[in-house]
Amino acid sequence: MKQFEIPTFYKSEFIGPIKNYRKALDPRKRDFTPTIVDFGSLKITLARHFGFCYGVENAIEIAYKAIEENQCKNIYMLSQMIHNPVVNQDLQDRGLSFILDTEGNQLTPWEKVTSKDIVIIPAFGTTLEIEKHLKSKGIETHQYNTTCPFVEKVWKMANKLGTDDYSIIIHGKFKHEETQATFSHSSAESKSVVIKDIDEARVIGDMILGQRSKDEFYSRFEGRYSKGFNIESDLLKVGVINQTTMLASETHEISEYFKSVMIEKYGEPSLKDHFADTRDTLCYATNDNQQSTYELLNEKADIAIVVGGYNSSNTSHLADLCATKFKTYFVNGPNELLDNKTIRHFDYASKSHQTTKDYLPLKDKINVVVTSGASCPDSVIESVIDKLLSFYPSDLDKSTALKNAGVTG
């Protein structure tokens, strides 16, 4: 796999050796068991896979290259390049500005952006409408387009489905930049609708089976279906794609559900005429991180700390998985661990910050599960571990603890 040039301050002298060691032992990534580093009074159970993925490293390399190569120009990012506050803040500190926020609200008026400026397409991609608008302003975006290749893979699947005359059901969070981009590209290929979960899938399934009225579709999914969508003619053939950071198990459940609906309505011999087997369109990193988190659930631990941007979809799913077994705290960095008594964290379901007292158990030895999303720098993970270590003095330094864990090189 290609090696990217990313700033050294995103790397970690503690995390790097662990990843390199595990990769050397398991190059085909068949072992998802965690790495356990024991400091004595504190044991860290670290997920097998976490942190920057291919798409994120590609985006970071391109963005910093754009800044280096265009120091006398205005440089804009359409929206946050990735959902991580550390990375986005550093880019802003270097002079880069955002045109839109994550909700699509205007931060920089389009009138200020000219053909002399540099505009970077974020890793999530962008809509065809924005691409057209940039082109109309004479802005070239190909050189600094950081769209993740795995997002583009989903768009190619949408193209194939449209070519084969299937309507497209997108499993995703409609306001997320990636889903907005995918919906735009998908709608250009075929009739499309975005659903957020299995419950909404069942609503559409009932409509396919004639058990709900079409009026409910247009009210329930208002703003989330493509222009001219007709449920009587556009749900005869369907295929499922997704936002690449959704839970794989949920996308699989939705896909299997629509498969069963088409079998019920048309019979299994006619299934291929009504349901497209798209397989899973999640990216490899999302799959690896989720599988690694499932392995964490086999461990015994006192708490779990999940690190990443609070608007990071893939990180929120890791937090949800961890919470099925452990008391879990979703933080964006070490500053959220206020001290050994108090932690500030984020509840993704309610989109609210919370403060919890006595989050660390009163024990002589505790075990903390640690993982992060695909947009979190390794240096931030290490700084969170350092903060925990400051609460539990140990005779072991990090180098010795790594050697005791079998990490060499």
Residue type, 309: G
Contact indicator for 260, 274 with CB cutoff of 8 Å: no
| Residue from 131, 177, 178, 382 carrying the catalytic annotation | 178
Active site residue 178: yes
Give the active site residues: 178
